[in-house]
Amino acid sequence: MRNHSLDRAKLLLACAAGLMLAFACVASSLGADSTAPKRTGVLRTLTRGPSQESAAGGDPVVPAGARIDPAHVTYKWPSQIEWHGRSGGPRMATLLGDSTKPGFYIVLMKFPPHMTSRPHFHPYDRYATVISGTWWVGTGTKFDADAMVPMPAGSFVIDHAGQVHYDGAKDQQVIIEICGQGPVTMTPAETK
């Protein structure tokens, strides 16, 4: 018998790791100002000031002699994240896994202003964190933009398996991180 609570705990832990990467990438692209290390529990977060950033892509300038053993830690800088999608439409960057295949995945989704989905549902829970902008969320089979609820940066949203919802960006671009189990499918559920 499968232990679903253990599977969910592993999924949420991996989502947290992906979220740390996503926030670091967005903060880097926005130009973090603080240079002081911040310590929280066992985690130490070093934010870079403008003097520690390169001119291109917002990637850090690595001090001479500094290195990370890839057997211990792997990472992607903002310039290494590959965004895919059609011009003027939503864009996706895969951070981990493959959302089209069975197994765990983490993706970043970037929605341009004024782009929302129509009512739909997914077969598995999806865990989303708003990285930047405001994500708008609605529920039910009838699309109603005025009934959507704003989720500002830092908000955490669970799209429960089989439950109808719709979401997207209104007046500004939004970036969200989504973690879940693949393969991802989206079943339309709109009634007119």
Instruction: Give the model confidence (pLDDT) of 16-54 as tens digits.
Output: 555 554 444 444 444 433 333 443 444 444 444 444 445
Sign of CA dihedral 99, 84, 75, 25: negative
User: Beta-carbon neighbour count of residue 57 at 10 Å?
Assistant: 14
What are the structural domain ranges in the chain?
4-53+78-188
Please compute the mean of the pLDDT values over residues 96-106 and round it to a whole number: 97
Q: What angle do CA 29, 31, 36 make, to 5 degrees?
A: 130
Q: Which amino acid is at 107?
A: V
Q: Which of 102, 108, 148 is nearest to 128 (CA)?
A: 108
- pTM for the full model? 0.73
Q: Decide if domain 4-53+78-188 falls under CATH 3.30.230.10.
A: no
Please compute the mean of the pLDDT values over residues 170-179 and round it to a whole number: 98
Distance of CA 159 to the CA centre of its chain: 14
Angular region, 33: left φ>0, alpha ψ -120 to 50, beta rest: alpha
Under 8 Å between Cβ of 95 and 22? yes
The mean of the pLDDT values for the chain is 81
What percent of the chain lies above the pLDDT cut of 90? 65
Q: What is residue 46's predicted lDDT score, i.e. its pLDDT?
A: 44
Q: Is the pLDDT of residue 176 over 80?
A: yes
